[in-house]
Structure 1
Amino acid sequence: MVNEMNFKQRIQIGLLLSLALLLAIPLTANAGRFKRGDTVQIYKKFWKKWYTGTVLDISRKSGQLKIQYQDGGRLKTEIFDENIVRFPYEEDAIAPARNWTDASGSFQVMAAPLGIYGDTLKIRKPDMAELEVPISKLSDGDQRYIDRIRRFMGGAAAPTPVNLPITRFGRSTTDNEFQPAISSDDRIAILPDPLPSYMKLKEGGAAFGRLGDFSDGEEFGVIIPVGGPDSLVLASAERHPRKGEATTRLIWVSIADNKIAAQQKLPPEEYVLDYHPPSHRLLTYSYIDGETLGSKKKIALAIWEVLPTDEMATPIVRWEAHPLEGTSVDPWAQIIDGRIVLQRWDKGEYVGWNVDQKSVAYRLKQESFRDSLPAFSGTKKYAFLPEQDQVRVFDPMSGIILTALPAPKGSKAVALSEDGKKAAVLDNHQLAVWDLTNANAEPTYFHADDIGRVSVKSMFWLGDDKIMVKSYRELLLFSLTQRIVIWSYQFEYTTKHGDEERPLVHIVNDHLVYGASVRDNNRNEGLAVGNVKLPGPKVADVFDTVNREDLEITKPGERVRLEVRCGDQLNRDVYYAMLAKIEANQWTLDAENPTLIIYADATKGETQSTTYYNSSFLSRGSREVTVSYVPNIYTLKVMKGNDLIWSSRRQSGSPMFMTLREGETAQSKVSESQIPNVSFFKYADIPSRIIHKDYRRGLGTTQVTTRGLIAGALKPPPQIDRTNNSVDAQDEDPFQ
């Protein structure tokens, strides 16, 4: 074990977060520019919206306005400060309206600046007419004013690009056909597809100003490592309509220079999903009928072309991307090569879109209850789809199934090594590491209860011999050499962890990329992106010095008492299945003087119901049928004295898909699936060497903060009671 004193001092690695926050130019009114009778808009912060009203009176001394406005069905009159009042034509403006003068001084126009791009200024007049004016034709004062806006706002000074109308892609005669599954017995070797060389990131970070405040301001939508010489990271800063005026910005963070390299705007309510550096293409989505929480959603996907050096993103295509009745899943899609987009169409269904041909390229159905998202090799040459009893490997360009990795106990997450040679497949209790380059090589298995049982959001390789699993607000570092969780990383409240569909946390080239909310000394709100080296301070010392045996509370040679309580139909088969497990663990059956007791139980649960429907790609409706069933609940427990040291549980469910032959019904098929069986006990993976419960989440914890990684103290060695438990004697084999 590592000496505890080595970890008593907390270590910090700075993110080098620059808090020179880039604050947008406020849209404040110039004193005296309003007059009685003006139609204006006022902002109500509580409701996070603008209301249209009329100026009734003006206080030149205080600068306040008396305004009458409509709120629902009632007329209200209130006093407002000028800084929350604007003219209707100033909506979406980057600065207040002003009188613009040409170089000769003979022409003037009152207008609000909507954006600056290239040598052109876009303005809107009070009659809502929009004009584009060459900057060179404006007066010197106006040109200096534009230069100040550019220096202050950068790419945010450009106009908001106009979204394209939604189109409907063509459908082929095979649109209703799914790619055929392949047997895992037909496994083939695949060539390595390593992480591209440009995907290298240095340590560092940068911050930028947040539009709005803590309660209604921007939040990260997604964080995407881009790489290159500047170690670029692309972040989307988004504000949803429910938080006020919707906005979306693209923020290009140069990790190498610790600064914001560029930014651009996207249309309101357009949200980022992915960016493909080689093709410079950006993938976004929007809700066609507005975001509807808790119901079917109809979404549109869109492709844009954009580089950090561009003033505006250029729209390429926008298309309808949802089943007829809408989808119940959160939007997820990835750009494969700039031409093909892989989208989760609905629960358990994927569609490959050819955006150049504006058509469906292929369809896939995922046979899994978990609906885990696909993982990709380094350049997305291969996609790995976790399923109920295998991991399907397919070409995401064509949808062609290439091979499959057996996963008889299910698969909840897949990670590809950065050299492209290995795949790690995780289920609830076991981690399998496959050599993808050798079709005949058997996988290496690791007991992995401590990472398999958490709610896994994503999984990464760290070097050649470590796996990092991300749950809700935690990262668990699993050592393939020591076969245990070595360390835990906890995200503090200011850091952003994201979700599966739009992640805010990545591990690239042994670095952790993440986002956080920050505040400077003047209480200005901001967002920051950082990149730190893993595993962080002092953690590497643990790998070489920890002794796994010091943490084990069971070993080969344990004496076991077996209690089987599964009913007459299963008791005999379960008993012999568990006897095989005991022998495989090099334990012995000893009812008189056991050190462990194993309980095997089978019970019935509460009645459940499931609704099936026809989800045809071209279906204009759905024919639903609801069935009911009583699930079987199977449980295994391992006790040492009065302590529960290991357990596993499974509940039977209804099939995700079914094919009915003549005379069959959905109810009869579901009832057949509820016949009790011994498979859970037969395939249960009880570790021979069980780790003490206090160490199943690592030997210590590092805090992930805005200041970097702060390592905590190493846990002291466990105090393990190895005394024997005495119980009443019983027959060795009750079924002999």
Structure 2
Amino acid sequence: MTRPTQPICWTFLLLGCCWLVAAPPAEAQQQGYNRGDRVEVNRGDDWSPGTVTGYRGSRITVLLDDDGSHGDISADMLEKRLTRSYFSSDLRPLRSEPAAAANSPTRSPPAMRPAAPPSAQSPFDLAESTAESRTWKDQSGRFSIEASYGGMNGDKVVLQKVDGSTIEVPLDKLSDADQDFVNSQSEASENPFAVAPSTRPAMGGNSSQQLRVGDRSDAKRIVPQSFTEWTFVPEGAPPAKVAARSKPVSLGSIPDSDPFFEDVMSCDLSASGDRAIVARKQGSVGRDEAVYLEYINLTSGKSLGLCPLPPKNEVLSVDAETGRVVYGEVEFGRGATELTIGELNGNQLTPLVTWEPYGAAQREHERRIENAWFIGDGLVMTLGSHNNALTLWDATTAKAIAELPVSMSFGDDDVTISPDSRYLALKTDKSIAIIDLDTQEHVASISTGEISAIFLDTIAFRADNQMMAIGFHQGILIVNLQTGKIEQVFDHSTHFPHSSLVWAGNLLLHRNAYVYDWQRKILLWELEGLRSHTTKSSLKNGLLCVVPKNHDGPPVLRTLELPSPAMIAMQEKLGAPEDLIVASAGDRVSLKLDIDERVISAETVRQAVTANLEEAGYVVGDGSDLVVTAVCKKLPSQTIKINMGPDRFRARPEDIVERTITPHPSSLTLTYRGKKIWGHGNMGKPGMTIWMDENESVDQALQRLTTPNGLVD
């Protein structure tokens, strides 16, 4: 398979959202379709009746009639399933009203209801109570409930029931004893349940406002820059560490779900470390899998209950600090066209605004979104699936602030946002580009030397933005962002490409299990029981929040201080990094050869390796704990089949070519008392992919890959 060599063009945009009153588009007016009109919709082989409810750009929104096939679901879910957008060419006036619909009032479409506007106060500004549950009674004494006190929301008392759900009861409806209890709580000198006014940008609007199509017309275009020297000065400071929450929290049981097939989609931790939001997918086979959100109060160690997303919707981004969630409807694995920002309050998700970032595009696939990210207050970044755009939006106006063009092959794993949302890093063909999200400018490019961007996978900013870690197929690059230089190439046997990589202070956490001390070039710690590609985690301000998959029941959320005091003590015990050096100039090194004389003489290899070691300052001699082993073998010739077609998984006979190769695997390794500490080259066999250089033919690549790898250079 040929490696892509075309340069990557990149673009990014900021988008905002709001509800605005809009007149019907001219196209819709010309076709004579108004709100309330009865129409028929072309759905392939047949026409389905429905009612025009509004307009979305050049398309018309239709609420299809309920044919009774959706089963017993709520009116809200039914409304969501039946609402679709069409071009006017897909509609025609209703020719005749179906008899069943005319005679049965139960078949009338449910009333359209806009997303509810947010309250003036943020539910996340209401701290959850850590008080024990007590019995509450009404004025008559006939009704009671077990719940804990959660503070006041205006003139209503917030009560958290034992099942995690939250209710609000007017104070004057409670018994006199309960009112006295509430008043005593309110009179405390420091009321932890007081509601503070929200400082976040408002979203939503009144019921007359329409779905907004994203406006990209005034977006600032971020232009790639060329840099002759490193001038970038990263801004950022080490965050304050938050206290660890040691109490594990059992998550709720998803209804009608098999835990074995459940997936933990994401886990997001607030910067304050007192709350987390977990997204999980229902475990089922042969039917749609619902997605559930769950808000966890880490201070009290309680879950506030499960909150289902609308059917077929998936979570794209979560901000546990504000309780906001970006989600959208996904069909058959294709990206959403509309995004909704909602606010999670306990087990209730309130939609704030819905908009189409790329709704102005003419083709449906160009309107689809691959991913979305929260970028600070009121800002959302989206990546289009086929429109070659990374876009930053103002979520309060539905206007794009900036746009960065990207290539068709650009994916959501090619971009990383710094923990403080100040910088954006993305892969280009020859470097890592850094974008300042405050100024929307390309401010630096990190050269990766001979390592092409195609080999890079995970990118991670350190919390203070002074360092960056870049994973690739042979290890981890450590980059100093104050100089733009690669300080170290770290590798360990536990490293696995395309796996999670985050900073924990000045350490690195890989695959949720391995803690690397890159300065000492060691695996410092291993976290047992967390290594799994299904484990989801979030690490902020020295606190790791992790949710491992549990095949036998609901998962358990755990938190861990990272780096932990024990890890810091271990570093101090080990001493300075230079104290761990096992080989340095002046040391004696022994030489061991395993050479096939048909390829090259052992004496030639001995002289070349000895000369290189002595040039580096080592003394070559027998009896040393340090041993350099040189290997060169000639393997039997073999015939291999190569798929030259475009599909690596479905090769056609005409795509297959045969070549005869004679592999010559060779390697150099350095061991200390029998343990490998360095190596170059390998003894591998032909693999699944032939990585080709630019303008190189298959035969040239095979010649390069099967020739001894320059042991005498």
Q: Same fold (TM over 0.5)?
A: yes
Instruction: Determine the structure 2 residue equivalent to 1:314.
Output: 352
2:530 matches 1:498: no
- Per the TM alignment, residue 222 of structure 1 is displaced from its structure 2 partner at its CA by 1.0
Say if 1:600 and 1:530 are closer, same or farther in 2 by CA, change over 3 A.
same
| Superposed counterparts of 1:192-271, under 5 Å | 192-194=235-237, 202-211=245-254, 212-215=256-259, 219-228=263-272, 231-239=274-282, 242=285, 244=287, 246-261=289-304, 264-271=307-314
2:415 is equivalent to residue 381 of structure 1: no
Correspondence 1:421 to 2:457: no
Deviations 1:549-590 (A, max 9, x none): 999886742123566779989x99999996776356544567
Question: Gapped runs of 5+ residues in structure 2?
Answer: 1-67, 77-104, 114-138, 148-158, 169-203, 648-653
Within 5 Å, which residues of 2 pair with 1:276-287? Answer: 276=319, 281-287=324-330
Quote the residue 2:381 is aligned against. 341
Alignment partner for residue 486 of structure 1, among 524, 527, 531?
524
Q: Distance in 2 between matches of 1:367 and 1:579?
A: 46
SS state at 1:313 partner: strand
Amino acid at match of 2:73: E
- Asked if structure 2 preserves the Cα contact closer than 8 Å seen for 1:227 and 1:233, the reply is no
Q: Which residue of 2 aligns with 1:455?
A: 497
8 Å CA contact retained: 1:418, 1:461: yes
Q: Does 1:304 align with 2:367?
A: no
Aligned residue pairs total 513
**Aligned 8 A contact 2:219 2:401 in 1:** no
- For the 8 Å contact 2:513–2:528, the answer to whether it is kept is yes
1:316 counterpart letter in structure 2: T
In structure 2, the CA distance between the partners of 1:280 and 1:193, relative to structure 1 (3 Å rule), is farther
1:679-724 residue CA offsets vs partner (Å, 9 max, x unmatched): 9968x9xxxxxxxxxxxxxxxxxxxxxxxxxxxxxxxxxxxxxxxx
Indicate conservation of the 8 Å contact 1:469/1:477, yes or no.
yes
Quote the Cα distance in structure 2 between the aligned partners of 1:506 and 1:389: 30
- 1:386-401 equivalence runs, <5 A: 386=427, 389-395=430-436, 400-401=441-442
How far is 1:311 from its partner? 5.2
2:315 aligns with one of 259, 268, 272: 272
Structure 2 contact 664–706 (Cα < 8 Å) conserved: no
**Per-residue CA distance 1:513-536 (angstroms, 9 max, x = gap):** 1114679xxx9x433322122345
Determine whether 1:530 maps to 2:558: yes
**Matches of 2:413 and 2:611 in 1, distance apart?**
32
TM-score for the superposition, normalised by structure 1: 0.54
Can you give the 5+ residue segments of structure 1 that lack an aligned partner in the other structure?
1-85, 95-124, 134-139, 292-296, 614-624, 659-665, 685-733
Matched, 1:597 2:625: no
2:572 partner amino acid: D
Aligned residue identity for 1:254: N
Distance (Å, rounded) in 1 between the aligned partners of 2:580 and 2:223? 47
Q: How many Å separate the matches in 2 of 1:386 and 1:575?
A: 41
Which residue in the other structure is 2:448 paired with?
407
TM-superposition CA deviations, 1:10-42 (whole Å, max 9, x none): xxxxxxxxxxxxxxxxxxxxxxxxxxxxxxxxx
Distance 1:280 1:252, change over 3 A: closer
**Closer/same/farther in 2, CA of residues 567 and 428 from structure 1, 3 Å limit:** farther
Look up the equivalent residue of 1:415 and give its one-letter code. Answer: A
Would the alpha carbon gap of residues 462 and 602 (structure 1) be closer, same or farther in structure 2, given more than 3 Å must change? farther
Residue in 1 aligned with 2:179? none
How far the C-alpha of 1:304 sits from its partner, in A, is 0.8
Which of 475, 490, 502 pairs up with 2:513?
Answer: 475
Q: Decide whether aligned partners of structure 1 residues 217 and 553 sit closer, same or farther in structure 2, where only a CA change above 3 A counts.
A: same
Distance 1:325 1:642 in 2: 63
Give the share of equivalent positions with the same residue, in percent: 10
Q: In structure 2, what residue type is equivalent to 1:336?
A: I
Return the offset for 1:544.
Answer: 2.9
Partner of 1:36: none
Aligned to 2:543: 511
Structure 1 CA distance, aligned partners of 2:111 and 2:163?
21
Partners in 2 of 1:407 and 1:150 — Cα distance?
53
Q: For 2:303, give the aligned amino acid.
A: I
- Offset at residue 253 of structure 1 (A): 0.9
User: Are positions 1:608 and 2:608 aligned together?
Assistant: no
Contact 2:218 / 2:401 at 8 angstroms: preserved in 1?
Answer: no
Equivalents in 1 of 2:610, 2:218: separation in Å? Answer: 54
The whole-number CA distance in structure 2 between the counterparts of 1:580 and 1:363 is 50
Letter in 2 for 1:232: R
- TM superposition shift of 1:419: 2.0
Q: What does residue range 80-159 of structure 1 map to in structure 2 within 5 Å?
A: 90-92=72-74, 151=161
CA-based RMSD: 6.0
Aligned-pair distance for 1:488? 1.6
8 Å contact 2:337–2:369 — kept in the other structure? no
In the alignment, residue 461 of structure 1 is paired with which amino acid? Answer: W
* Offset of residue 626 of structure 1: 7.4
2:558 maps to amino acid:
G
Cα distance in 1 between the residues matched to 2:247 and 2:704 = 56
2:258 aligned partner, one-letter code: F
The answer (yes or no) to whether the contact 1:364–1:399 under 8 Å persists in 2 is no
Q: Distance in 2 between matches of 1:558 and 1:371?
A: 47
Do the aligned partners of 2:669 and 2:679 also contact (CA within 8 Å) in 1?
yes
Give the Cα separation in 2 of the matches to 1:467 and 1:443.
16
For the 8 Å contact 1:560–1:597, the answer to whether it is kept is yes
Q: Cα–Cα, structure 1 residues 511 and 360, in superposed 2: closer, same or farther, change >3 Å?
A: closer
